[in-house]
Amino acid sequence: MCGVFGIFGHPEAANLTYLGLHALQHRGQESAGIATSDGRQLSLHRGMGHVIDVFPPEHIERLRGTNAIGHVRYSTAGGSFLKNAQPIAVEYARGSVALAHNGNLTNADDLRERLEARGSIFQTTSDTEVIVHLLAKSEQKSPEDRIADALSRVQGAYSLLCLTPSSLIAVRDPRGFRPLCLGRMPAEGSWVVTSEPSSFDLIDAKYERDLEPGEMIVIDERGLRSLRPFASARQSMCIFEYVYFARPDSILDGISVYEARKNLGRRLAATHPVEADVAIPVPDSGVPATIGYAEQAGIPFELGLVRSHYVGRTFIEPQQSIRHFGVRLKLNPIASVLRGKRVVVVDDSIVRGTTSRKIVKMLRDAGAREVHLRISSPPTRWPCYYGIDTPTRSELIAATHTIEEINQYVTSNSLAYLSLEDMRAAVLDARTAAPEGRRALPVANEGSGERSFCDACWSGRYPVEFTPHPRQRQMSLLDF
> Which residues are the active-site residues?
2
Cβ-contact 94, 142 below 8 angstroms? no
Cβ-contact 68, 39 below 8 angstroms? no
Cβ-contact 439, 208 below 8 angstroms? no
> Mind giving me the DSSP string for 109-142?
HHHHHHHHHTT---S-S-THHHHHHHHHH---SS
Exposed (0-12), middle (13-18) or buried (19+): which is 411, by Cβ within 10 Å?
middle
Helix and strand numbers (H, E) in the chain are 17, 23
In this structure, the strands spanning 67-73 and 31-37 are antiparallel
Closest CA to 84 of 129, 43, 118: 129
Half-sphere exposure of 473 (CA within 13 A, CB side): 5
255 bridge partner residues: 252
In this structure, the strands spanning 453-454 and 237-238 are parallel
How far from 272 is each of 62, 322, 404, CA to CA, in Å?
56, 33, 14
Dist CA 456 CA 466 (whole Å): 12
In this structure, the strands spanning 88-92 and 31-37 are unpaired
Q: Name the CA radius of gyration of the chain, rounded.
A: 22
Give the E-state strand segments of 156-245 in sequence order: 159-163, 168-172, 181-185, 190-194, 206-210, 216-220, 223-227, 237-238
What is the enclosing helix (H) or strand (E) of 336? helix 335-338
